[in-house]
Amino acid sequence: MAKRRRERGLTQVALAQRAGLSASLLSKIEVGDRALTQGVAAALAHAMGLTLNELLGSAPEKNLNELNYAIRRFDIPGEPPEHPELLQQQVDELNALRWNTELAEILQRIPSALTSVTNHAHLTGSPKAWSLVADVYGIIYWLAARHRWMHLAELATMKQRMAAERADPMAAIVAARDDAGTFLNSGDFAGGLAVIDRAIVQAESELRGRDRAFGLGILHLRGLTLAGRLMDKQTTNKHIDAAWRASAEFREDFAEHGIHFGPENTATHIISTASDMEQHRRALDTAEDLIQSGLTLPATRVAPLYMNLGRSQLALGDRDGTLESLEKAWAVAPEMMTVHPTSLELTRVLVSQHKRSNERLTQIAQRVGVAV
């Protein structure tokens, strides 16, 4: 971070002002006393005219030739699948891998699945078939975002929106939610909120019943994250209140189009945003209540919960608690933890602050390549 800042001739004060941060926070990040979270990194990258992967780096883009080939052929009909009745099952299996954060297995399977659902959609032209195409692109977006392959993430959401135009109304809402995610990852939080606001109007006018509550709920979760990154307390609270209202329609969390929504996932988003907004005690209290009530969410949500818990513990000086939270995140989502920036940053800061050898921390540091 310091190297990138100096290359642009910026002082800490100047860069912090551009990014809407305090100079003291930036100073602590640069010397290793505070973790560089993905939200802060996105704001700093945007202020320096960089992409997030230019600032943080990204995982090697391995084995993407087949996937890129399948994406390029979005508008070129090919041989339809022999067993179209199995397509929904294939997408369900991909989502199960997503929830278990099995990134490598998803990358291996998804080119073939994308080709099959796309060719079937061209053959039938049905909204249901195009909804499956949009769902697969949603999985590609998630995979790309986890690795910080930002160009692929943006390409995936563009194709997702194109498929959604021919699909059921809910597909467009999910696509808007993922599209706002690319703004989130690029540090353009205000732009992401504009996408969410427009999609909320669409959801309110086009969706009914259970679909309406689900669609509005996932949009408001994205909205509260974006507003929290802007430190806009009023807008954040507006989205929190709306997300709680939507989640009250459901007794427990459930998944549609690969996305979980309900009371638990709403709580995890509030914990993350509280940490973003330096409301660390609120984050810890909310997390304690959620964990004690018993988690039913998949690994893709539980691991970020423990990472966000670790962020607030570290900010409050609880290094032992941070290490324990990291270990819990590793236990449920090891593949994701190897590439997630919060995992790397928490490890880096813990290593810089520990003056004595710690075998548990050393094991985690070796997994992510942080020198001890």
pLDDT digits (tens, 9 = 90+) for 190-238: 999 999 999 999 999 999 999 999 999 999 999 999 999 999 999 999 9
Which of 10, 36, 57 marks a domain boundary?
Answer: 57
Which of 17, 33, 57 marks a domain boundary?
Answer: 57
pLDDT band, residue 354 (cuts 50/70/90): confident
pLDDT band, residue 53 (cuts 50/70/90): low
Residue 236 belongs to a domain: no
The total of other beta-carbon atoms located within 10 Å of residue 128's CB is 13
Residue 366 belongs to a domain: yes
Residue 327 belongs to a domain: yes
Say which residues have a Cβ less than 8 Å from residue 85's Cβ, sequence separation at least 6.
none
Residue with tokens 């560089």: 36
Residue 81 belongs to a domain: no
CA torsion sign for 315, 317, 323, 325 is: negative
pLDDT tens digit sequence for 282-340: 999 999 999 999 999 999 999 999 999 999 999 999 999 999 999 999 999 999 999 99
Domain count, the chain: 2
- Give the global pTM: 0.89
CA torsion sign for 58, 260, 196, 189 is: negative
Residue 68 belongs to a domain: no
CA contacts within 13 A on the Cβ side of 305? 23
Better-scored residue on pLDDT, 118 or 352: 118
Please tell me the distance from the alpha carbon of residue 175 to that of residue 245, in angstroms, as a whole number. Answer: 22
Better-scored residue on pLDDT, 22 or 179: 179
What CATH number does residue 353 fall under?
A: 1.25.40
What CATH number does residue 44 fall under?
A: 1.10.260.40
Backbone angles phi, psi at 174, to 5 degrees: -65, -40
Residue with tokens 């933890």: 337
Residue 221 belongs to a domain: no
Say which residues have a Cβ less than 8 Å from residue 193's Cβ, sequence separation at least 6.
180, 223, 226, 227, 230, 235
C-alpha angle with apex 164: 163 to 167, nearest 5 degrees? 95
Residue 346 belongs to a domain: yes
Q: State how far the alpha carbon of 324 is from the alpha carbons of 106, 198, 262, 343, in Å.
A: 29, 41, 27, 12
Range of the domain at 368: 294-372
Which of 57, 73, 104 marks a domain boundary?
Answer: 57
Residue 251 belongs to a domain: no
